[in-house]
Structure 1
């Protein structure tokens, strides 16, 4: 005899698995951690400050 399956639960479980797979793809494709973004921003700001500090006045 076959097991009884609740179709609503099966549908929701499949949707949840699909969403997790899509999220994993997006993390690989677009994702950078917040730490990486802030580190890049800090490096750009330091470069700008160093460049402005080395300017000569006319």
Structure 2
């Protein structure tokens, strides 16, 4: 198992919250950047494609 999976999952949750915030505020550039970061960390942690954090706040 990946030693960094907890870190990657935490980072995925952080970027997920930021991604959703950008969607709410119509921040187009931030939206795509945060989505990319979320997907990168989600994949690195080995999380399923439909994964969302339990607590969607930063």
What is the TM-score normalised by the length of structure 2? 0.38
- Based on CA coordinates, which of the two structures has the bigger radius of gyration? 1
What is the TM-score normalised by the length of structure 1? 0.38
Of the two structures, which has the highest relative contact order with CA contacts closer than 8 Å and spacing of 6 or more? 2
